Amino acid sequence: MNFSSKIRNYLVFQHRWTGLLMTAFLVVVGLTGSILAFSPQLDRIINPQLHVQPRTGQKPLDYASLAEKADAIIGPKGATWYFTVAPDPDQVGVHCGGHTDPKTGKPYDLGFNMLYLDPYTGEELGRGICEGPTKFSRVNWESWVLNLHQSCFIGDVGNTVVGYVAIVWTIDCFVGFYLTLPLGLSGFFRRWKPAWWVKWRAGTFRLNYDLHRAGGLWLWPLLFIFAWSGVMFNCGAVYEKVMGKLFPYKTFDQQLQTLHPGHISEYPKLSWRQALPLCEKLAEQQAKLKGFTIERPSGFCYITDPGVYSYSFVAKGDLGATTMPSGLWMDGDTGELQSIDFPGHSPIGNRITNWLYSLHWADFHGYLWYRALVCSLGLAIAGLSVTGVYVWWKKRETQGVIRIRKDKSLLPKVQ
């Protein structure tokens, strides 16, 4: 056996057993991902009470008014941290949390961390938990599915395990691709061509084998994108280290370090009402100066550490309608511009990250066909895992039969 055959046999062994170990996780990730691809549309069906009909001729409230409405509902123990308005405003999602209790040094427990408001009146539509709920409820269904998708309900340990699975999956994408290639260069493409096709009239084993191999080839770019973006979400340290080696790239912590205004405060000197027009003015000035076009605002946020307001907007050229907008960061005390991000401005590694983020969350220019593609891909990931197990099991049975034929002592004795 030559060296290339030995390498191939090792990779077959690796592909087989890593695939078996990943199967349960990939089936769960694939099926939940299919559901999450249409989460905005599904939530309008599941929770109609949390959405309002767009009102022709009436503008939604400005961000400062919405923030003030949210603060009034939450009360003095809580605070509005971040809120977004959808492209077709039928709901405002307000992420909130408790201020620090001076007696305990810990945040107050509000019993919820998501508040839903009517974008036209600021009235409360409902409240729920958007991170890690353990009990399923109608309002929290999306977060419940997302928790299953990201951590399989095992908390931080599950989040790490799924991250490691994503790392192995990323590597296995290349291994699986290599194993479809024929040995030697003679007639390479002619011998590789059958790997791309499925013999639909073949027997059950051959059909599953073809579906596993051809499906992996045709879907390979998307499989790699979703595997590597899974590393980005669940194993950020590994992702950042690799991206930093391959491309110019700034981590989130590095970005924060560049805009530290020198104070950390839960209560900025500038109120929502004072901060909003300053952010809008800075955005307009930067758009003229840098040569980009702002299509609409998309979010407003106050970050305690490092004490800045974040004003998000969708600029022409942004990938996602809601997930990765452009924006700026402004000092919460002085109103001084700290940083700005717009299409084509970030290092190439960060731009790739923006692509991965939008593609993974099925938010590519708001296209419905792309959501359908991601939904189908999730089902395909589960299907590829199942066909892989089936192929392994049938080969295992075949190898067992061969061993019995070679060693007749393994045959059952006739009584």
Classify residue 63: in a domain, yes or no: yes
Domain extent at residue 166: 3-27+152-241+369-405
Classify residue 324: in a domain, yes or no: no
Q: pLDDT digits over 282-316, tens only? A: 999 999 998 888 888 888 888 877 788 989 888 88
Q: What is the mean pLDDT of the chain?
A: 86
CA–CA dist 376, 222 (Å, integer): 11
CA–CA dist 105, 64 (Å, integer): 29
pLDDT exceeds cutoff 50 at 411: no
How far apart, in Å, are the Cα atoms of 284 and each of 259, 279, 291, 307, 395?
Answer: 20, 9, 10, 22, 64
CA–CA dist 415, 412 (Å, integer): 9
Classify residue 266: in a domain, yes or no: no
Q: Which alpha helices (H) appear in 291-363, and where do they start and end?
A: 348-360
The total of other beta-carbon atoms located within 10 Å of residue 386's CB is 17
Please tell me the total count of domains within the chain. Answer: 2
Residue 178: its H or E element:
helix 155-179
pLDDT of residue 43: 93
Classify residue 36: in a domain, yes or no: no
From first CA to last CA, the distance across the chain in angstroms is 43
pLDDT of residue 200: 93
Mean pLDDT of 250-259: 73
Reported confidence tier of residue 87, pLDDT bands at 50, 70, 90: low
Tokens 């709920």 locate to 133
Classify residue 9: in a domain, yes or no: yes
Q: Are residues 156 and 197 in the same domain?
A: yes
The pair phi, psi for residue 22, each rounded to 5°, is -85, -15
Identity of the residue numbered 330 = M
Taking the model in full, what pTM does it have?
A: 0.86
Classify residue 127: in a domain, yes or no: yes
Q: Are residues 230 and 93 in the same domain?
A: no
Which one has a higher pLDDT value, 78 or 75? Answer: 75
Q: pLDDT digits over 319-354, tens only? A: 776 666 788 989 999 999 988 888 777 889 988 998
Mean pLDDT of 61-86: 81
Lowest mean pLDDT among 47-51, 77-81, 233-237: 77-81
Q: pLDDT digits over 263-285, tens only? A: 667 778 999 999 999 999 999 99
